[in-house]
Amino acid sequence: MEKLKKKIEAEGTCLGTDLIKVDAFLNHQIDPVLMEQIATTFYEQVKDLPITKIVTIESGGIAPAYALATKLRVPLLFMKKSEPNTMEDPLYTQVFSYTKQKAYTLCVERKYLSPHDKILFLDDFLANGEAFKGAERLILEAGGEIVGVAALIEKVFQAGHTYIVDKHYPLFSLAPIQQIENGKIQWADSLIF
């Protein structure tokens, strides 16, 4: 998606060869017009999948997942990164965050996932795939089925891409990055599998 790529180039910051800071418009401050455009692009890619629910992880995936959920007219479920004491019957797993360099507990109320759910997982970034693997464990433990994986920004050079493709999940990526070198992003071809 060219608009997202241009926004990343104009307002994002490359930190080394593997981190990108996009908090100006995506995961701290939100650009609602861009979220609407992202949702429209994803909608065209996934509208024929049998999606009954979108799942994301707090907090960077919530805005684009919400925008897409409104277009698909399906519920949005976001998994939490810590277990609140109000959860009655949580499913949880440990996930390592590469960005924060620490593990956290990913959790969700069991009653919000069921064996009838056909899930599109959507997140702001796909890198090493640890966040997705954690969500996958919880979705499968509840008996749900993952019918697609969507990422706004994908670092193709990290392990998450291969993991998802090897599992035969349809993968939709709007801004796939081949590599980051000298503070510049080299874009990969658009990735839809």
Q: Is 83 annotated as a binding residue?
A: no
Q: Find out whether 54 and 75 touch, Cβ atoms under 8 Å.
A: yes
Residue 149, Cβ neighbours under 10 Å: how many? 28
Known binding residue 67? Answer is no
How far is the C-alpha of 136 from the C-alpha of 118, rounded, in Å?
Answer: 12
Q: Is 131 annotated as a binding residue?
A: yes
- Residue 85 annotated in ligand binding: no
127 is in an annotated binding site: yes
- Euclidean distance between CA atoms 123 and 125, whole angstroms: 6
**Binding site annotation covers 129?**
yes
Write the single-letter amino acid at 48. Answer: D
155 in a known ligand binding site = yes
How many helices (H) and strands (E) in the chain? 5, 11
Q: Which residues are annotated as a binding site for xanthine?
A: 27, 155
Q: Which residues are annotated as a binding site for 5-phospho-alpha-D-ribose 1-diphosphate?
A: 127-131
Q: Which residues are annotated as a binding site?
A: 27, 127-131, 155
